[in-house]
Amino acid sequence: MSARNMEILNLISKCREMRDVGKKSKLLEYINQLLPVDSKIKLPSLITNDGIDNLLSWVEVKISPPVYGLETS
């Protein structure tokens, strides 16, 4: 796994620990900027805490190494 992907996974962990939805949303935007062009997500203008967690999970699956027998597509 690349150093960039490790950095993103660490930021995802930090983001999940945050309670303030505004700060969490800002960190999600930053994480999105770090993603490769083909993995970037279109962020909604209004998002809930659960919505952020769902997007973080999607990003995590996209950049994590594959688990044998499972596909991410």
User: What predicted TM-score, i.e. pTM, was given to this entire model?
Assistant: 0.82
Q: What is the DSSP letter of 37?
A: G
pLDDT digits (tens, 9 = 90+) for 13-72: 999 999 999 999 999 999 999 998 988 999 988 999 999 999 999 999 888 877 665 555
Place of tokens 């809930």: 48
Domain borders along the chain are 3-63
Residue 57 confidence (pLDDT): 95
Say how far apart CA 50 and CA 56 lie, in whole Å. 10
Quick check: 72 and 61 in contact, CB under 8 A? yes
